[in-house]
Structure 1
Amino acid sequence: MQYLEVKKGRVEIIPMIDIMLFLLIFFIMITIHMIPDQGLPANMPGSSTAQTLPKPKVVVNLYPDGHIEVEGKTMTLSALSDYLHNHQPSETQVTIAADKTADIQALVKVMDACRSAGVTAIGLAAKAGGVGGA
């Protein structure tokens, strides 16, 4: 009588790691597509790491109703873009001082207007004193 030798099964760890990484990447990709890509109204918080920066050349004030103001003059986005385009945009430093209740989409539009004028140095003003500081 002949006995067959039975081999014990092995659990391969490398294919399991491959499958787990694939699942992780899959869930990350799904989660990224779930994040809305449009601006939402939100309270912009203060920053606990705010620091004093050199005086910017242009300060753009953004108000809750969406209008913008530069050097005391109310401007449209196209007027802002033209204004910045005439002030050596590659050397111009722009700081956007948005109101705490300003719409984020309006903030993005102001940033787009600055970029379309050729400005590359754009900063956001924040109040010192922590998150939600007054």
Structure 2
Amino acid sequence: MAKKSYYLGHEEKARIEIIPMIDVMMFLLVFFVLIMIEMIQGAGITLDLPQSSSQDPIESVTLNIGVSAEGAMYVDGKPVDDQQLSSRLAEMKDTGKLDVVIAGDRGSHYDSIVHAMDLVRGAGVSAIGLATQK
């Protein structure tokens, strides 16, 4: 028969230590939040962003547009053409303030990025940012 442990006349009961479990759950939460932030920045596609020494973070990004090295435009990881992008921008502009970030690949042509900026400005959006990495 197992011997029970007594401390000052009281029987010691088995306990579940919850503090280490909370530490592990916080670590997992922070890990997944950081991973999601990195995924959102690139508009769902793999881009090699150019570097910049003077960059300011944009707090409220509503729409990310990715421009690949071939000049194709992507929104939410899905390829879009000029008409689809213009109509989506018009719909989102009607809902309120719209901030747009254009993430151009390092190998993309300058005219592809300017073309994306023209489409955004043509939809009436003046808050445009360019994504870079440190």
- The Cα of 1:45 is off from its aligned counterpart by 3.8
User: Are the aligned partners of 1:64 and 1:102 in contact in 2 as well (CA < 8 Å)?
Assistant: yes
- Distance in 2 separating the partners of 1:52 and 1:98: 16
Q: Counterparts in 2 of 1:16-55, with a 5 A limit?
A: 45-55=50-60
Q: Which residue of 2 aligns with 1:69?
A: 74
* Residues 89-112 of structure 1: CA deviation (Å, up to 9, x unaligned): 661100000000111001010000
Q: Which residue of 1 aligns with 2:61?
A: 56
Higher helix share: 2
- Name the SS of the counterpart of 1:48 in structure 2: coil
- Distance in 2 separating the partners of 1:68 and 1:98: 9
User: Are the aligned partners of 2:50 and 2:105 in contact in 1 as well (CA < 8 Å)?
Assistant: no
Aligned residues: 86
- Distance in 2 separating the partners of 1:52 and 1:116: 24
User: Are the aligned partners of 1:78 and 1:113 in contact in 2 as well (CA < 8 Å)?
Assistant: no
- The Cα of 1:77 is off from its aligned counterpart by 1.6
- Distance in 2 separating the partners of 1:63 and 1:81: 18
1:122 correspondence with 2:128: yes
* Residues 7-36 of structure 1: CA deviation (Å, up to 9, x unaligned): xxxxxxxxxxxxxxxxxxxxxxxxxxxxxx
Q: Which residue of 2 aligns with 1:11?
A: none
Letter in 1 for 2:113: L
Q: Who wins on radius of gyration, i.e. which is larger?
A: 1
Question: What RMSD over aligned residues (CA atoms) do the two structures have, in Å?
Answer: 1.9
Match of 1:87 among 77, 89, 92: 92
- The Cα of 1:44 is off from its aligned counterpart by 7.3
- The Cα of 1:121 is off from its aligned counterpart by 0.5
Structure 2: unaligned runs, 5 residues or longer: 1-47
- The Cα of 1:49 is off from its aligned counterpart by 1.4
Structure 1: unaligned runs, 5 residues or longer: 1-42, 129-134
- Name the SS of the counterpart of 2:57 in structure 1: coil
